[in-house]
Amino acid sequence: MFENSQESRTSLSEYGEFGLIDHLTKNLKINHESTIKGIGDDAAVLDFKDERAVVTTDLLIEGVHFDLSYMPLKHLGYKAVMVNLSDVYAMNATPKQITVSFAVSNRFPVEALEELYAGIQLAADLYKVDVVGGDTSSSTSGLIISVTALGSAKEEDVVYRSGAQPNDLLVVTGDLGAAYMGLQVLEREKEVFKVNPQSQPDLEPYTYLIERQLKPEARKDIPPLLKALDVKPTSMIDISDGLSSEIIHICKKSEKGVYLYEEKIPLDPAVISVCEEFKIDSTTIALSGGEDYELLFTIAQSDFEKIKGNPNFTVIGHMAEEKEGMHLITRANQKIPLIARGWNAMKEKED
C-alpha cells in the first residue's frame, strides 16, 4: 500500500488558512474540459454541456468513521475521495470534479495534512478528477473531512435506484465482506498493541482484507464495461452499508420484492477463513458489513447472456412483485425475511 513519510513537524500557524490551501493544492492538475475554472476564484465554474450533472457528498469524522491509530492519513484522503466517486459510478455517471473540505486541530502539523492531501491527489490522478475547491477550518477536537463529487452522464444513461422490475436479475460486482473483516483485524491488533506495544503483528494473511478496508477502490471499470456489453441496469446502488440494506433501498425505491440466494453471495476465500477464525457467520458479514464499494444492480433477464461468465459479475437473486416481500433463501433452502442489520434466523411463517 502506501509508505508513510512523516518526520518533520511544521505548525499550521506558519501558513495561515490561505497559505495552507495554496501549499496543499499547488501540484493539482486539471483533467477535464468541463472544468472552466477550478481553484482560485470565489467558486468553480463547470460546463457539462448537454449532459446531466450528478452531485454527491460525504462527511467523515474522526472517532466515528475512522480511527487514526490504524488509518494512515494518506489512506484516509484516498478513501474519502473513493466513497464519493463510488456514489457517482452508482448513478452510471463519470466523476469529473471534487471539492475537499476539512477541519483540523492544532495537534496536526502541516506534514500530516500533506499526507492527507497526497492521498487525495493520488485518488484524483488515478480516477481523473479535478480538485476544484474546498475549505479548511480549525477543529477543537478531531479531524473532519468532507468531499463532494460532481460527475456527468448522458440523460439516457443515468440509472436510479427506482427502476427495478419484477423478475429482473440482481447482480453484484466483486466480492463482499472483506473491508469489514479487515476492520475487525485492525481493531484486534490495536487492542493487542495497547497491552503489548512491543508486539509485531503478522498481518500477511490479512493483506487483502486490510487493503479493502484502508484502500478501497471505486468500480470505475463497471459503467464503461456495462456500456460495452450493451447492458443498461434498470436500477443501481453502491455497497457502502452492507448488501442487505442496499438491496432494501432498491426494493423500496422500486416498490418491488426480492429473492436473494445465500449460496450465490460472492465471498473471497480470505473472508471465509477469517470469519471461521473470528467465529462469525460470513453471510452475516456480507449482508451487514459494509464499505465494500462494489456496485449492486438489476438487469432484465433478457440481458443475462451478455454478462454470463463475466468474472466481474455474480447474479445473486431476482426481483419480485412488492407484495411477495423481501427474502433471503438460505443454503438450507429456508426462506427468511431480509432485514437491514444482521439477520433473523427464524423461519418465515407461511402465508
Q: Is 58 annotated as a binding residue?
A: yes
For 83, 214, 221, 279, 283, the CA distances from 276, given in Å and listed in that order, are: 29, 22, 32, 5, 12
238 is in an annotated binding site: yes
Measured from the CB atom, the residue of 112 and 243 that comes closer to Mg ion is: 243
Q: Is 230 annotated as a binding residue?
A: no
Instruction: Report the C-alpha gap between 303 and 204 in whole angstroms.
Output: 40
Binding of Mg ion by 217 (CB under 5 A): no
Which of 62, 130, 175, 238 touches Mg ion (CB under 5 A)? 238
Among 138-146, 237-245, 249-257, 302-310, the segment contacting Mg ion (CB under 5 A): 237-245
**Amino acid identity for residue 70 in this structure:** Y
| Nearest distance, CB of residue 333 and Mg ion, angstroms | 32
Block residue for cell numbers 466517486 = 85
Which residues share a beta bridge with 187? none
- The answer to the question of whether 303 is labelled as a binding residue is no
Q: How many residues bind Mg ion (CB under 5 A)?
A: 2
Terminal alpha carbon distance of the chain: 52
Q: What is the DSSP letter of 49?
A: T
Region of 157 (left: φ > 0; alpha: ψ -120 to 50; beta: rest) is: alpha
The reply, when asked if residue 125 is annotated as ligand binding, is: no
Q: CB of 246: closest distance to Mg ion in angstroms?
A: 8
Task: Fill in the per-residue mask, 76 to 115: x = in contact with Mg ion (CB under 5 A), - = not in contact.
Answer: -----------x----------------------------
134 is in an annotated binding site: yes
Burial of 229 (C-beta count, 10 Å sphere; 0-12/13-18/19+)? middle
Binding residues for ATP: 117, 134-135, 161, 240
Binding residues for substrate: 65, 291, 343
Binding residues for Mg(2+): 42, 56-58, 87, 135, 238, 241
Binding site residues, Mg ion, CB under 5 A: 87, 238
